[in-house]
Structure 1
Amino acid sequence: MELSTRPEITEERVEQIRNIIAENPTWNRTKISKHICKLWGWQSPNGQLKDISCRDMLRELDKAGKIKLPAALTPSRTSGNSDKVKHLNHDMTPICAKLSELRPLQINIVSSGKELMLFKSLIDQYHYLRYDRTVGENMKYMIYSCDGRPLSCLLFGSAAWSCRVRDNFIGWNKSERMRGLSLITNNSRFLIAPWVKVEHLASHILSLVARRIADDWQHKYGHPVYCLETYVEIDRFRGTCYRAANWIHVGRTTGRGRDGGHHNTILPIKDVYIYPLTSQYKKILCGMER
């Protein structure tokens, strides 16, 4: 069986990992993770091994004391360590205009080079979560005005592993969720540059991206996505642009996360929004239709 999403880590699988490490004392972390990906069939639909995701999983198990990994050859980057992002000089001339004066907007998929450096720089400087490395399948967009001025950055990545209100709304069970999670993508970063003041720009951008992202995903990863999701911190934002772009509010998170126990709130509470890209998305995500 091929797995496109993170597999459930059972005690049997943990013991299997321990045996692999013990039987191959000369293997480094990369060789171990690639072997596990092949053994479990953990790969994307285009056949690429999910090596980075597997190494993240191994580090979590090592940190929890469940396995003992060999020493890392190079230090891993700490989450949120923004000193790796080079901050570029850029034009901050205020853009205060009607949306019609900026259209048609240009949408670029960001992959490398100076545009990727600019994308990282803008998010790291102006998004409250800053920029962090991407793991697994993702899509980066830069939005420009008709005359080429940068307006916005969007990052879509892996869907949340588990979210009660989302999962209840979709109606899938645990095994269906594990199979279908790669068919959802999470809008984890959405930035309008702070010097851009244009009414209805944010919702217009969301609508434009929603029309094309399934095809973009298909072209890049060999499969489409059928639903978008995002999580909006209620103490910071109202989610106005998502509602204006017809995203569906399906509830709120509890603030506990996967490791938060059952009582103490340890994470910001967030409104959960989804945006279906097809009318049959629930059947597709639950594996009843493709």
Structure 2
Amino acid sequence: METETEFRVTEITEYHIQTVRQLINDNPLWSRSRLSRELCRFWNWRSPLGQIKDMACRDLLLKLEQQGHIVLPRRKSEAYARGGNISIIKIPHDTTTITGKLKDLLPLKVETIETGHPSWGLFKYLLYQYHYLSFNGTVGENMKYLILDNKSRPLACLLFGSAAWSCAARDGFIGWDRETRINHLHLITNNTRFLILPWVRIPHLASHILSIIIRRIQSDWQNKYGHGLLLLETFVEIDRFRGTCYKAANWRYAGLTKGRSRNDRYTRLHVPVKAVYLYPLAKHLPGGDLQ
């Protein structure tokens, strides 16, 4: 990035970078979270529900720092360094190896996790500790699931959040133009985290869990937010994973990303290439359907 990149629908120019620098210089005691919140309010970066796009703004700030444009305030602690603005407390848990056949664990129990839920701390810590992307909190519409076996032993964590603003593979596969995408993007959710705990070794467990979630997420979303969903999406790093469980759960392969951040208009932020998988929850999609 030299003078300009793209943040969702807003172009980030030298003016924006200077604004960030000035806020940092004028407020040396501000934390990173305070800086992000103030910038969102100053630029009116909000979701359709009016919530500030805090985590997306933090992602932008980190990229600006990585490219040498700004120097962010020091992180307060390791927990905040990896866990965003949420505190991560170590939760004791059993890591005894779980092996055998899937049928021996059934029926699985699905807990929907929210702040204040008895398992909220455990959910945060498991993702923070064992997922390679850690856990950075949530902003906007999201759904969190903790999966347990018939003995109430944790097996997996799933997090669904905001869809990618722009994805050529997805949009082309569906047949969406820019206007259709803007009008309906809030009806897509991205499976941003799917963690089978590392001591759990059960064949076919991951695809079985996905099938369970597919059957219930529509009603869960409707109950929580007052509207349903059109589509699920996920992005699988091809250098790390093969996407086997998504294929087995009948998700549709839509293509590859271009190896750039979704916030980068000029291809200067290189990220791992990912395979895009989609799962329709509606028979017909506005402006197009899955090929």
For Structure 1 versus Structure 2, the TM-score category normalised by the shorter chain is 0.7 to 0.9
Percent of matched pairs sharing the same residue = 46
- SS of residue matched to 2:195: strand
Name the aligned partner's letter for residue 97 of structure 2: P
Query: Are 1:226 and 2:223 an aligned pair?
Result: no
Of residues 252, 259, 266, the one that matches 2:256 is 252
Could you tell me which residue of structure 2 aligns to residue 21 of structure 1?
Answer: none
Question: Which residue of the partner structure matches residue 185 of structure 1?
Answer: 189
- Is 1:95 matched up with 2:101? no
What residue in structure 2 maps to residue 9 of structure 1?
10
Aligned partner of residue 198 in structure 2, secondary structure: coil
- How many residues of Structure 1 are paired with residues of Structure 2 in the alignment? 263
Q: Distance in 1 between matches of 2:53 and 2:87?
A: 22
Aligned to 2:124: 120
**TM-score normalised according to structure 1 size:** 0.75
Conserved 8 A contact 1:34-1:51: no
What's the offset of the Cα at 1:186?
Answer: 0.5
* Aligned equivalents of 2:252, 2:9: Cα separation in 1: 29
What whole-Å deviation, never above 9, does each CA across 1:34-70 have from its counterpart, x for those lacking one?
6876xx9x554xx55446479669969x98xxxxxxx
What CA distance in whole angstroms lies between the structure 2 residues aligned with 1:266 and 1:138? 26
SS in 2 for 1:217: helix
1:55-204 equivalence runs, <5 A: 84-113=87-116, 114-204=118-208
Secondary structure, counterpart of 2:110 in structure 1: strand
C-alpha displacement of 1:213: 0.7
Q: Work out the CA distance in 1 between the residues paired with 2:281 and 2:253.
A: 15
Structure 1: runs of 5 or more not aligned: 1-5, 19-27, 64-71, 286-290
Give the RMSD, CA atoms, in angstroms: 3.9
> Which sections of structure 2, spanning at least 5 residues, go unmatched?
1-6, 20-33, 66-72
SS in 2 for 1:281: coil
Deviation at 1:282, TM superposition (A): 4.6
How many Å separate the matches in 2 of 1:271 and 1:251? 6
Identify the range of structure 1 (163-172 vs 275-284) with the bigger mean alpha-carbon deviation: 275-284
